[in-house]
Each structure stands twice: as C-alpha cells, then as structure tokens.
C-alpha cells in the first residue's frame, strides 16, 4: 500500500506512560521541595511502575514502542544527524534515529533517579527511601546527594527533549498531537501484533508486583 493514510503510531500504553511521566516529574519536584515526602515516595513508586512497564513494552508492545524498532545503528544516527545539521528534519513514523537514543537517555535517567531515591535519606536520618535503612547513614546521604545531581540531569534531558519538539514544530512538523491521539500519516502498512490485551495485562501485573515488593520493604 503506498497512499498516505492516518495510522496508529503510538499505542495507548505508550501515550499513558508518556503523560504519566510528564505529570509525575513535576509532582516529584514539588513534593520534594515542599517536604511532602510521603507523597514524594508514592509518586516515585508510581513512576517506578510506569518505567518498568515501559521497558517491558519496549520488548512486547506494538511496532513503534519496541526498542528494536527505534534503536538504530550509529551509522544511521550519523546520517540522520548530518541531514538535521544541513537544516532538514525529515518526518519519521515513530522515533527518528536521534530521538530513539534520547528516549533511552530519558528512561535511563529516570530509572537511575528512582534507584537513587530508594536508598536516599534526609539529613535528619528520619525520612528516606525503602532501602535506606539497609545501608550506612553516610552512604544513604551520598545517594541523596547523587539523587539531587541526577534530578538536574533529568531537567537538562527534558529541556533538550522539549527543544527538539519545538525545533520540529519550527520545521512544520507538530509531533505533539500524535502523542495525544496516537495517529500519524504513514505510507506503509503497520505490523499487527497478536494478544496485545494479554501482553498489556501481563506487563501491568509484573510492574505492579515489582512495585509492591519495593513498597513492602519500606519501613515508612
């Protein structure tokens, strides 16, 4: 099929994960700044679940959600980057070769941020992540300091992400609506994967179990 038609580019789980992340990061910042640590932890556990599910979905989700589809060879990334440097930003169905690596960066930084938070403790030694009591106070404080440093790396990566989206907008490609309603023009057929609802349910259960195990370790 060669005519251009609207096809599903981002499935519902990808969009739900995306907008959950976009809401949870500011909530995590706000709750930390206002010492609402109970809500900070709840938001952090929720983000952990979202990240675990998104990683699972990167192997078992639909075509554009899969890491194998959007993590491309360095040669393709370089070719795409040189086109971008020459002033072009050709629209791609799914993540473009540069965007694929920025997805890895964002997910990796958020996962690191959650991981550090799990071991971090506040300066009084009273309020911390579920695993903070399993390590020495000084080590937990170091985790808290790294947690702060990593937060600013998250802020930088999100700023870069938003700048890239603005740059595409200036080139005439508005990527945001597709992340809302899920559809974008395609001139080729989109692979269909079977048992998506079952895969989705398994992912939710696995992510839920992992978060439950982490929360169960929490003394707070």
Contact residues for ligand HEM, defined by CB under 6 A: 14, 17-18, 21-22, 25, 28-29, 32, 40-41, 44-45, 47-48, 54, 95, 99, 103, 106-107, 113-114, 117-118, 120-123, 127-129, 144, 147-148, 151, 154, 158, 161, 165, 175-176, 179
We find the least distance from the C-beta atom of residue 2 to ligand HEM, in angstroms, to be 22
Q: State which residue, 114 or 207, has the beta carbon closest to ligand HEM.
A: 114
We find the least distance from the C-beta atom of residue 138 to ligand HEM, in angstroms, to be 13
We find the least distance from the C-beta atom of residue 100 to ligand HEM, in angstroms, to be 8
The count of C-alpha atoms lying within 13 angstroms of the C-alpha of 38, restricted to the half-sphere facing its C-beta, is 1
We find the least distance from the C-beta atom of residue 153 to ligand HEM, in angstroms, to be 10
C-alpha 172/C-alpha 6 separation (Å) is 18
Other beta carbons within 10 angstroms of residue 171's beta carbon come to 14
We find the least distance from the C-beta atom of residue 20 to ligand HEM, in angstroms, to be 9
C-alpha 45/C-alpha 51 separation (Å) is 10
C-alpha 110/C-alpha 94 separation (Å) is 21
Q: What DSSP element (H or E) covers 7?
A: strand 5-8
Helix, coil or strand: residue 69: helix
Helices (H) and strands (E) in the chain, counts: 8, 2
Query: 82 with 75: CB under 8 angstroms?
Result: no
């Amino acid at each position: 099929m060669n005519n251009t038609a609207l096809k599903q580019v981002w499935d519902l789980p990808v969009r739900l994960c995306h907008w959950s992340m976009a809401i949870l990061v500011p909530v995590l910042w706000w709750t930390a700044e206002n010492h609402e640590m109970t809500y900070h932890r709840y938001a952090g556990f929720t983000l952990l679940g979202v990240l675990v599910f998104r990683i699972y979905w990167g192997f078992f989700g639909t075509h554009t959600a899969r890491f194998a589809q959007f993590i491309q060879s360095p040669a393709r990334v370089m070719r795409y980057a040189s086109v971008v440097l020459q002033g072009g930003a050709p629209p791609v169905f799914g993540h473009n070769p540069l965007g694929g690596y920025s997805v890895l960066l964002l997910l990796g930084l958020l996962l690191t941020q959650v991981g550090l938070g799990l071991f971090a403790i506040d300066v009084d030694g009273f309020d911390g992540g579920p695993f903070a009591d399993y390590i020495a106070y000084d080590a937990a404080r170091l985790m808290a300091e790294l947690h702060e440093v990593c937060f600013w790396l998250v802020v930088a990566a999100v700023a870069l992400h938003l700048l890239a989206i603005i740059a595409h907008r200036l080139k005439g490609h508005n990527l945001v609506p597709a992340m809302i309603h899920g559809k974008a023009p395609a001139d080729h057929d989109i692979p269909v994967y079977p048992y998506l609802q079952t895969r989705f349910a398994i992912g939710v259960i696995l992510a839920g179990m992992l978060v439950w195990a982490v929360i169960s370790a929490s003394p707070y």
